[in-house]
Structure formats: structure tokens, C-alpha cells
Amino acid sequence: MEIIARWYETGAPMRICIEGARVAEAARVDAAPGGMPWIAPGLLDMQINGYRGQEFSSDRLTVEHCAEIVEATAAFGVTRFLPTVTTNSLATLTGALRTIGEACSQDRRIAARVAGIHLEGPYISVQDGPRGAHPHVHCHAPDWDEFCRLQEASGGRIRVLTLSPEHPGAAPFVSKVVASGVIASIGHTAATVRQVNEAVDAGATMSTHLGNGSHPLLPRHENYLWAQMADDRLTAGMIADGHHLPRHLVKSIVRAKEPRRCVLVSDLSGYAGLPAGRYQTQLCELEILPTGKLVVAGQEELLAGASRPLCEGISNVMDFAGIGLAAAVDMAARRPAELLGLEVAAPRAGSAADFIVFTLAEGRAEGGARLELKQTVGGGEVLWQAAS
């Protein structure tokens, strides 16, 4: 396979030859870049809850469902991702984690795309607001023995754990989690500033979808949002879909953290990808509006999940925060890979052949350039191709 495109960091026209799962040859070509597509590392989404009516956190999850979701993500430029299992009963969590592990063991293609599992809860706030849509009955304080059982059920695949440091014993628990090789991420929290600081001192290094999973009203100065934005030891996860965070907050987070400490996530709901309309879920009746916004049915403000893919977040963060293409792509590709200790594709011989090819459509009515995917390549294979 041969790809001729502009490398996203430099704009230099490159000829990249792929053999098997690796780059065999890469060299700059003497060609005018005008009209030439762009190429960048494949995207890594650290938060996908499901797709088209199937959630990972479900007692109905099957290996076949996992395969369907994995295949669907290629159309978003995602070559690797973390299936996200959210707060539920111990039986449901155990079954879901075991099923994802079985899918990876049975199919090498799934294993190549699943970079680990994100366990979001159940050790989160029980308060309305920070708890979000997580079921109150299953939210509780950290339990190390329980977490070890969940990790065992996953086959050791849990790579990120979202928790709230507001619970007694949270800081020692964070220390154990980090020592086991799992990223501890603060989210769905009602923690005090002191509790946030204690968790970071204990080894927490991320914030899960910062600015969401919060109270509607916060103290002006002493609150968990400012505490996380100010701490340079924390990398901020953000849902830049245009619904979860207003553009001014996206800009503020990026400026406070700098792009190198920001990660874009989609947080795709299991109901993303379905047509506009109302759907009855285990938690509530939700509505997908014509704009793609997922809300609790009957109103337009209370969010019930995310529906826009990660590649749209790249376009939005460029527009909202006024940053360039390279910085925006890195937030969805390089930064998450670095956090997980994974290889990042590059235009050089021997590199992993995981790339996206895209164009930039300038001057969209609502803002800046729009990233339009043309091809997703993972493991040296074309995973998705735009229709001609």
C-alpha cells in the first residue's frame, strides 16, 4: 500500500509505503502540496461506551456486539480505543469485562484495536449532578478487593479507572491502583480541593471529561473544577462535541492546561449512531435531537450522553480554542497513546502502520475548518474508506 499525503505536523508531502503492519519506507516527495490530503496517526479514543443501541456496560453484551462496535469506530478515524464500562451491579460489571476480554482473546483484530478498558465507576460520587447518569444504587466507596476481582475478570485489561476522591480511603486506594499499572482519573466527583490534591499526590494523573459530571452550581473559588485545571500533574480529558462544554470553557481549559496536557474523548453513548427520536433505556427515556444531541426526553438541556465522533472534536477544538491542526490531532492521537505507553505512528520505516488520511474543508458556516476523513488504516490494513 502506498499513501502520498501531507504530514500533519509539518505540511511536508510524504510518500509512505506500507508492507504488512509496518511502514516499509517513508520519504519526502517533491510535489506541490496544494490539494493534497493530510495524513496523521490513527486516533485513540479513551472513552467509548458503545454504539448503535449496544452499551459495553450491559448484561446483554456479547463477543459479536464487541466486534460490531470495534468495526464501527473505524469510520471515525479511531484505530484504537478503550471500551468504557460504567457503574452498574457487580454481576453486570464482571460479565461485561469478561466478555470484552473474551472478544480480545478470540479475535486478533479486536485485540489490536482495543488498547485496554476504561472502568468509569463505580467508585464515584453518590450526589446528583456529579453522579451524572450513573445509577445511584451502585455508586460506592472504593473497594480494593472488588477492583482486583474486576481486573481479573477483564484479563488484566483495565487501563484507566475513573473515581471520585471524596470517599474515605480514596488516596490510599489511588496509590494501589497506580502501583498496579492503572491510570487513576478523577471524575464524577464532589470532592473538596483538599481531596483532589490528596488524590493527585497519591498518583492520579487524569481528569475524566473535565467540566462534566459536576454540580450545576459551584463555589466561586474553592471547587474541584478550578483545582483540577490548576494542577499541572493532571491531564484533562474533554468532550469537545459542542454540546458538553461551551466553546469558552474549552478555550479556558486548553489555555490553562496547554494542549500537551489535554486529551480529546468522544464519550460516545451506546445510543449514538441511532436516528433522531425517543428511546427507552434502563435509566430513563432519552431523546436524540435532530442536531445529534442526546438529552433526557422532553427537554433540550439535560444531557444523556454523547453522540458525536472523536474526529469532530478535533475540528471543534481548533475552532473553539484557536489552536493549530498538529496540536488538535495530538490531543486525539499522540497524547492518549503517550498516557497509555503505546506506540504512535510516524512517517518512518519500521513505524506501526496506523494512520488517518483526511482533508480540511475551510470556512464552514459555524466556525473554522472541518476535518473530513477519507481513509482509516490500522495494522497496515484499510479499516474504512470514504465513498468516492
Rounded to whole angstroms, how far apart are CA atoms 51 and 68? 9
User: Which pLDDT belongs to residue 256?
Assistant: 97
Rounded to the nearest 10°, the torsion over CA 167, 170, 171, 175 is -170
Number of Cβ within 10 Å of residue 265's Cβ equals: 28
Rounded to whole angstroms, how far apart are CA atoms 257 and 272? 29
Cα of first residue to Cα of last residue in the chain, in angstroms, is: 18
Amino acid at 115: A
- The strand order across the sheet containing 277-280 reads 277-280, 285-288, 294-296
In order of their start, the domains of the chain are 2-39+347-385 (2.30.40.10), 43-340 (3.20.20.140)
Q: All 3 cell numbers of residue 88?
A: 452498574
E strands, 87-188, where?
117-120, 158-163, 183-186
SS3 content of the chain, % helix, strand, coil (to 5): 30, 25, 45
Which CA distances in Å does 104 have to 11, 95, 329?
36, 14, 27
Question: pTM above 0.75?
Answer: yes
User: Which pLDDT belongs to residue 305?
Assistant: 81
Amino acid at 92: T
User: Which pLDDT belongs to residue 303?
Assistant: 83
Q: β-strand 235-238 against 262-264: which pairing, if any?
A: parallel
- The helices-and-strands tally (H runs, E runs) of the chain is 11, 20
User: Which pLDDT belongs to residue 365?
Assistant: 43
Closest to 70 measured CA to CA, from 58, 85, 57, 81: 81
User: Which pLDDT belongs to residue 366?
Assistant: 52
Residues 6+ apart with CB under 8 A from 341: none
What does the pLDDT profile of the chain (388 residues) look like in tens digits? 999 999 999 999 999 999 999 999 999 999 888 889 999 999 999 999 999 999 999 999 999 999 999 999 999 999 999 999 999 999 999 999 999 999 999 999 999 999 999 999 999 999 999 998 899 999 999 999 999 999 999 999 999 999 999 999 999 999 999 999 999 999 999 999 999 999 999 999 999 999 999 999 999 999 999 999 999 999 999 999 999 999 999 999 999 999 999 999 999 999 999 999 999 876 678 899 998 889 888 887 778 789 999 999 999 999 999 999 999 999 999 999 999 999 999 999 999 999 999 999 875 445 578 999 999 999 999 999 999 7
Amino acid at 55: E
Asked if 159 and 116 count as a contact pair (C-beta separation under 8 A), the reply is: yes
The enclosing H or E element of 54 equals strand 54-55
